[in-house]
Amino acid sequence: MSLRARALDALGLGPLWVRRTRLAEIEAANAAAVHDAPAAEAPAPGAAATATPVAEPTPAKRSMAPVVVVPTPASKAAAAAAAKPVIPIDDERAARIAALDWNGLQQEVAQCTACSLCQSRTQTVFGVGQPAADVLVVGEAPGAEEDKRGEPFVGAAGKLLDSMLAAVGEKRGEQVFIANVLKCRPPGNRNPTVEEVAHCAPLLRRQIELLQPKVIFASGRFAIQTLLETDAPVGALRGKVHQYKATPVVVSYHPAYLLRNLPDKAKAWRDLLLLQQEIRRHRAAG
């Protein structure tokens, strides 16, 4: 056992960011919850026999009954598609961004006025790390501290992210580049809008093309949905390796969410182990 491992063991810690005792409590609680979960309620025996019979409607009554149209799956899908807002795409802007080099992309982000966030930001947040990094971490949007400093993940969530990365042998600024879906802070740290994500998408897309990471770690709902183009919840997408074009993507909860939902740190730890496995596999392959 290494010196670091012995020290962590003596402290009763697993990963740097979660106590083993706490993890054991969480797993025990989850097991108890599953064991004690009540079965779905079923009709009591004989209930059907004692139910009051319903009189058969007469032909006259039957002819007066309204016709109910049950929507088919196809009509439901069409209605859902029609309900989605149509976001105008600036093809000329997207094509111009797709041709930028690294320095040009940084300038494009710094000068961006594509949406109203440019009016409230202190500065844009391009990202941090080496352009040749093996791992790309994609978060959601800058917060107040990131807006002040111009660097992603520098508040409490950033400290947790650094600890999570350190637990699997990675460090920001070395072989990890960190970026966000949005390059500007939404006022009040609200969720990004569909329009804002659409305006920033060409910037993130070009960033990934230039970085060419071996593995992407998508952190949080908006990062995951943007990269994988899905509305599925995070919990349904965890535990498997996805693809962004030809690049493997591992997904997990956002550190800010984990700070509010401590039991889910155990799940995030399993996500990190999957990330570590993918990083090692792709580094070994060259």
DSSP class per residue in 141-152 = ---HHHHHHT-S
* Residue 1 falls inside a structural domain: no
* Residue 25 falls inside a structural domain: no
Range of the domain at 179: 90-284
pLDDT (tens digit, 9 = 90+) per residue, 100-136? 999 999 999 999 999 999 999 999 999 999 999 999 9
Instruction: Please tell me the predicted confidence (pLDDT) of residue 11.
Output: 34
Instruction: Please tell me the predicted confidence (pLDDT) of residue 63.
Output: 41
pLDDT score of 16 more than 80: no
**CATH number, residue 135:** 3.40.470.10
Instruction: Please tell me the predicted confidence (pLDDT) of residue 1.
Output: 56
- Which run of H or of E encompasses 252? strand 247-252
* Residue 26 falls inside a structural domain: no
Instruction: Please tell me the predicted confidence (pLDDT) of residue 140.
Output: 97
* Residue 277 falls inside a structural domain: yes
pLDDT (tens digit, 9 = 90+) per residue, 128-168? 999 999 999 999 999 999 999 999 999 999 999 999 999 99
How would residue 286 be classed by pLDDT, with cut points 50, 70 and 90?
Answer: confident
- Tell me the pLDDT of the chain averaged across its residues: 80
* Residue 185 falls inside a structural domain: yes
Look at the chain and report how many structural domains it folds into: 1
* Residue 243 falls inside a structural domain: yes
- CB burial class (10 A; 0-12, 13-18, 19+) of residue 74? exposed
pLDDT (tens digit, 9 = 90+) per residue, 170-220? 999 889 999 999 999 999 999 999 999 999 999 999 999 999 999 999 999
* Centroid of chain to Cα 45: 46
Average pLDDT over residues 255-263: 96
Rounded-to-integer distance, Cα 209 and Cα 232, Å:
25
- CB burial class (10 A; 0-12, 13-18, 19+) of residue 61? exposed
Token representation of residue 20: 């083993």
Q: What is the pTM of this model?
A: 0.72
* Residue 12 falls inside a structural domain: no
Assess contact for 136 and 217: CB atoms under 8 A.
Answer: yes
**Best CA proximity match to 106, nearest among 34, 4, 177:** 177
How would residue 2 be classed by pLDDT, with cut points 50, 70 and 90?
Answer: low
Rounded-to-integer distance, Cα 248 and Cα 244, Å:
6
* Residue 81 falls inside a structural domain: no
Strand order in the sheet with 176-180: 176-180, 135-139, 215-219, 247-252, 242-244
pLDDT score of 26 more than 80: no
